[in-house]
Amino acid sequence: MAHLAALVRLAHPLPTLLNALVAAALTTTAGGSASQAALAAITMLGVHTSIGAMNDLLDQAGDAGRAEKPLVGGNVSPREARVMVIVAATAGLAAASALSSTSLAIAAAGATLGYLYNAGIKRTPISFLPFALGVALIPAFSWSAAGAPLPTAIATLCLIALPGGSALALQNALADRELDKSVGANGAVVRLGHQRTILLLALLHGLTYLLLLVSAPTTASPALLVTGGLLLGVGVTLSTRVRRDLRQRGWEVSALALASCAIAIALSYD
């Protein structure tokens, strides 16, 4: 059981599951069948598991001393991690290909962004960009999974996701800022510093939420929009904490907040 739990941790389960659930929900909202929603979820599970495992595989040296990391703790071997990267990606892209060629192209683009981030972009000033673009692809992928044309309103939602995805990327990196700085990884957060990063991500989240509210039709669920706003406040607050685990929860709560708002808007076009 301990080995299985370590394999699950290698997949970065919380963000991976959230992406899968959001993709399935949006695919259903776009008019997709249960099988299409399931394939959309499998695509996200496979692609993001592959990205997560590759991230830990490449970061073994920098993660030294972090017992919670399965590879560093010795609970998972590098060979098992490499197998997970390949098998998960194959399963995810196979599921996307069963949906449509467009779905496969978008899924492959998302996987490529994640791999490029892992391979070195995360150590550059544009470290936030792959994350932001990946988040923006999710609505487009979901509509393609349903076999439906992308409405202008949902295309707008993809664009609004860019500042939100950038803020999530900053929050994610902020949790590891001290570690990244110690190993010489000069990504955007290390270059900006703690205080400027907090200010920038708060402004980006505020802008994203304002754009979501302005673009939301009158039929959008007020409960989901308000819940999203409250969760966003909690997420940003957690990102200001000293404890690393609380900062980690900060970006995850913020991701849930933006997902709530996106689903509220998408449902209003059903």
Query: Each residue of 80-100: pLDDT tens digit?
Result: 999 999 999 999 999 999 999
pTM: 0.90
- Torsions phi, psi of 186, nearest 5? -95, 60
Question: Is there a single domain that holds both residue 78 and residue 171?
Answer: no
Question: Is there a single domain that holds both residue 25 and residue 67?
Answer: yes
Question: Is there a single domain that holds both residue 168 and residue 57?
Answer: no
Question: Is there a single domain that holds both residue 118 and residue 31?
Answer: yes
What are the tens digits of pLDDT across the range 131-167? 999 999 999 999 999 999 999 989 999 999 999 999 9
Question: Is there a single domain that holds both residue 119 and residue 20?
Answer: yes
Q: Is 149 helix (H, G, I), strand (E, B) or coil?
A: coil
Question: Is there a single domain that holds both residue 173 and residue 139?
Answer: no
Q: Which run of H or E residues covers position 1?
A: none
pLDDT of residue 10: 86
Q: Could you tell me the CA-to-CA distances from 260 to 175, 176, 225 in Å, in that order?
A: 23, 26, 7
pLDDT of residue 270: 59
Name the pLDDT band for 74 (thresholds 50, 70, 90).
confident
What are the tens digits of pLDDT across the range 19-67? 999 999 999 999 999 999 999 999 999 999 999 999 989 887 776 666 6
- Out of 36-50, 238-252, 254-268, give the one with best mean pLDDT: 36-50
Report the number of distinct structural domains present in the chain. Answer: 2
- Residue 186 pLDDT more than 80? no
pLDDT of residue 184: 62
The domain boundary, picked from 121, 147, 173, lies at: 147
Six token digits for residue 121: 């972009």
Question: Is there a single domain that holds both residue 185 and residue 242?
Answer: yes
Domain encompassing residue 4: 1-147
